[in-house]
Each structure stands twice: as structure tokens, then as C-alpha cells.
A = this chain, B = another copy of it.
Amino acid sequence: MELRDLQLNIEEHLGKNVKLEGWVKKIRAQKNFGFIEFNDGTYFQGIQLVFDDNLVNFEEISKLSIYSSISVEGKVVKSEGKGQNYEIKIENISVFNKADISNPLQNKRHGMDFLRTIAHLRPRTNTFNAVFRVRSLLAYAIHKFFMERNFVYVQTPIFTGTDAEGAGEMFQVTTLDLNNIPKTEENKIDYKEDFFGKPSFLTVTGQLHVEAFASAFHNTYTFGPTFRAEESYTTRHAAEFWMIEPEIAFANLETNMDIAESMIKYIIKYVMDNAPLEMEFFNTWIEKGIIDKLNNIVNNEFGRVTYTEAIEILKNSKEEFTIPVEWGMDLKTEHERYLAENVFKKPVFVTDYPKDIKAFYMKLNPDNKTVRAMDLLAPGIGEIVGGSQREDDYDKLVNVMQKKGLNIDDYSWYLDLRKFGSFPHSGYGLGFERMLMYITGIANIRDVLAFPRTAKSLEY
């Protein structure tokens, strides 16, 4: 059986024999008895195995190394020792594999930096076991939230021929031989020989593509990997990360905020309900008070304020910011955190930003100066969601694109959505890893990605 089923129904199994297969997490043996902390990976909390020299292979078992894999049979009994209520009195152990003593993972606290150098083994530690279980639950919560609301999940393409936001640095993808790039007569790269017959890149967003699906399904979202070729060495940038991008037809910015707020509360609550042991672990070992922090989010209505009001609030505050506040500027993390932590003391949506600091596809307000953008700022982190109502007026959209220097031909299909039944619509983007860091308290994005890919780092 699996440990999870045993732990969740342990009273039922009391006095009965069980069979488990898993790994030795700790072991201490005396002359004629011993204890193994055992786990099979299905449940955060392991179980203690007790064995004695009635075992035919007592000598072998006593000397087992950490992470050796074993199959055990024994009776579930109440434990008289400290630290656990139940244990298994072993009648039979067989060994699949004795972990080689060169195992870099030992029974002690390892630093996060060291564990990053053994990313293939670190999921076996408590910290990473908790992180990646929560990652899995969080991903599912996102799907569940949207599917319960009849959204259609669209897997937007990874390969793209255009730079979607006119922003992020992109990875180029090619099947050309870099040692021998084919050239045309004019000595330009002959892309006819490349796989797609033209330059191709990895996507930085699925938004534009999912807008096409919103015109067919009303309620849609993407959830997939996204790429940035920025050579950042911070704790918050990875070259490959996952993003959630809902797009909702006939939704204005208020509806957009309502959905983002419901989603965030839903997914946090889902993780807290379904990973109570992991959340306790984070609360104790990673970020003290994180459970209170998350409960505060789940149980309060988010604030809502316009950018112009926010600028006034910041200007009138007595806080001295490193970068002074001025209408027209992009808010920096210090400003965002001040708003969320000191002014609102909870997550707050800031809306209607100056058009010049926001993307081309955002809906222009009647004031002609601001766009229907929204950023959700959360205490302890700053911006966590960015979104907007989209410009649905063909002429206005073309106008902005031209002003921002985008090639209209590259976007003709996107413009078609404004030509053939244009509709008010809104959406937002949530960085999956950033959300996961917020929920777990993990400070480095490298520690919430299974095998992180960052500048100059591509191992495993």
C-alpha cells in the first residue's frame, strides 16, 4: 500500500499487517534493535519502522545507508516513543538498493545553494518535497478554478515569428548549422533553409493568441511555459517559467479584477486545504507567519485605487523613497510595497496607468492620457498580477501600434479580431513561480523550478 493511505486511515490499520515500499530517511540501530524513519514519497509525514534482531537480515538492515530503497512488512502499533503516535513493527525487510555512500544528500541540514547543485536529488528533502507538492497542487487549483467557471484552456504556441509585446528579449530557435550558416547572394542569412523558412523565436506571452480564442469561447485561459532571454542574475528571474493568462470576452476592467481576486483567493485556499502539513512546514522553517499572511489575503477584500490617486497618496506620505514620485513614472517595487504594506495593508489593484508606460494593446481611457490597465500589488512582494481591458477599436489600436513602432503586417491576424466582431474584453497575466514563491515563502525562483534554467546555467 501507499504511505498516504496508511497515514490518513491509520486507526483502521492498527494491529494489522501492512506492506510498504520506499526509502530510508534516517536510521539508528542499537545492538539488537533499531529505528528507521521511512517514507515512500506519497505523504509529507513519514512513519517510524521498528526492527530487532529477530530479522534474519538484522546485520544488513542495521547498516543501511540513507536513501536506500526497501520493501517492508509489519504490524501497525501504537508507539510508546516520543515524536509519533504510531509505528510499524517490522517482520520482514528486503532491500532493493543500498544507496552508495558517496550520496551527497546526507542526514543533516544542507544549504539551499548546495542543494541547487543536486537538483535531481533535492526533491527528496523536506523543503523541496513540500515546495514541489505545493507547486503541483497550485497548478491543479488554477485549472480547477477556471474549469469550474467553464473556461476553455488553450495551449497557445511556443514558437512564434514575432516579438509579441515589442518588449522582452527573445531566444531564437533554429535548425541551421551555426558552423555553416547558409547565405543568400546578398550575403544575408538564407532563412529558407531554416526549419520554418523564416526566423523563429520562443514566445514571451500567449495573450494575443488567446484573445482569438476568447472571440470563440468567451472565457479562456492559457497556462504554459514562457521564455525571456534577459541576462539577469537576480533571485526573481529565470529564462523559462510558467504563466497563466486568462482572457474574458465582454469583461470590463472591474470584472477582470473580480476574477483575478477570486482566483487568487481560491488557489491559496486550495493549497492551504490540501497541503496542511507542507504549509505548517513553511510556516515553521521558511517564513514565519506565512499562514497568517495568506489567511489575510483570503479573508479580505482587495483594495482598488487608480494610479493617479496612488501617486497622490505616495506624494502625501512622509515616506522618503529612493526614487521620487511623479505622475507619469512607472511605480517601483518600493512604491508598490509601500502602498500594499503601509497604506492598504492588503493586496490592492492600481488601475488606469499612463498610456506611455503600458503595452500597446491596452484600452485608451476617454481622458486620452491613461489606459485601462491594472496591477495587483501584494504585501511582501509588490506586483503579482498585471492586466488590462484590451483596446477593441481597430483605428485606435492601429494608431498606437504605429506610434510604438510595431510592424502592422505582423499583427494583421490580431487586428482581424477588431474587424470581424470586435468585442470588449479583458485579461491578465500571473507568473506561476512568483505566486508559488509567495505561497511557500521560498525567496529564490531557482528553488521553485524543478530544474531551473537561468543565464549561463543549464545543468541536468
Contact = CB atoms under 8 A, between A and B. Distances in A.
A423 B174 contact: no
Given A140-B147, A423-B96, A2 B218 contact: yes
A212 B121 contact: yes
A339 to B, nearest CB: 32
B216 A124 contact: yes
Given A174-B178, A196-B457, A225-B224, A136 B154 contact: yes
A456 B172 contact: no
Nearest to A71: B250
A289 interface: no
A198 B456 CA distance: 8
Nearest to A43: B150
A189 interface: yes
Interface string A437-460: 000000000000111010111111
A459 B150 CA distance: 29
Contacts of A42: 150, 217-219
Interface stretch (A125-133, A261-269, A344-352): A125-133
A308 interface: no
Contacts of A209: 120, 450-451, 460
A218 B136 CA distance: 14
A336 to B, nearest CB: 27
Contacts of A152: 132-133, 136
Contact of A216 (B41, B147, B154, B419): B41
A103 interface: yes
Instruction: Give the number of times this chain occurs in the complex, counting copies.
Output: 2
Nearest to A416: B120
A159 interface: yes
Interface string A1-35: 01010000000000000000111100000000000
B150 A100 contact: no
A426 to B, nearest CB: 13
Interface in A109-152: 119-121, 123-124, 128-129, 132-133, 135-136, 139-140, 143, 147, 150-152
A175 interface: yes
A168 interface: no
A197 to B, nearest CB: 4
A425 to B, nearest CB: 10
A213 B173 contact: no
Given A240-B157, A240-B158, A450-B156, A41 B218 contact: yes
A181 interface: yes
A23 B422 CA distance: 10
Nearest to A421: B67
A155 interface: yes
Contacts of A413: 119-120, 459-460
Contacts of A150: 2, 4, 42
A421 B68 contact: yes
Which of A176, A181, A249 counts the most B-chain CB atoms under 10 A from its CB? A249
Contact of A417 (B120, B424, B459): B120
A399 interface: no
B171 A172 contact: no
A181 to B, nearest CB: 6
Contact of A225 (B154, B155, B169, B179): B155
A253 B30 CA distance: 39
A171 to B, nearest CB: 5
A275 to B, nearest CB: 11
A281 interface: no
Interface string A42-73: 10000000000000000000000001110100
Which of A195, A449, A459 counts the most B-chain CB atoms under 10 A from its CB? A195
A196 B159 contact: no
B450 A120 contact: no
Given A2-B219, A41-B217, A209-B451, 11 more contacts: A21-B423, A41-B215, A96-B421, A100-B420, A103-B420, A143-B143, A155-B242, A157-B453, A171-B175, A175-B229, A179-B189
20 contacts: A21-B423, A22-B250, A23-B215, A69-B422, A119-B413, A120-B209, A120-B413, A121-B212, A121-B420, A123-B212, A123-B217, A132-B152, A133-B152, A155-B450, A156-B451, A158-B225, A169-B175, A175-B229, A178-B181, A196-B239
